[in-house]
Amino acid sequence: MAEAAARGATRAAEELEEAANFAATLRRAADAMPDDVLASDGYLFCAPENLASLSGEMKEFFDRCYYPVLDRIPGRAYALAISAG
């Protein structure tokens, strides 16, 4: 799902002639750090649904990054894609 979204975003940037200003970087939640969050202009969080809850790996990412990025990224674009069922 994340790979398909990155391909689609890259194609859209190409069609809008903005490919030189765009890069999609995929990171597993376990590997993403606060510096990765701070270095990005926008975010697409992709996660599986587990028993109607967010995966533990994704929750741990948010817990790990919350305080280091608090009040440092307001207004940045974000979206969430959840794979369920």
Three-state SS for 17-75 is CCHHHCCCCCCCCCCCCHHHHHCCCEEEEEEEEECCEECHHHHHHHHHHHHHHCCCCCC
Note the pLDDT tens digit of each residue in 44-59.
Answer: 999 988 888 888 899 9
Q: Distance between CA 41 and CA 73 in Å, rounded?
A: 9
Where in the chain are the domains?
26-83
The tokens for 51 are: 């028993």
Report d(CA 48, CA 1) in Å as an integer. 10
6-40 pLDDT, tens digit per residue, is 999 999 999 999 999 999 999 999 999 999 999 99
Task: State mean pLDDT over 63-78.
Answer: 97
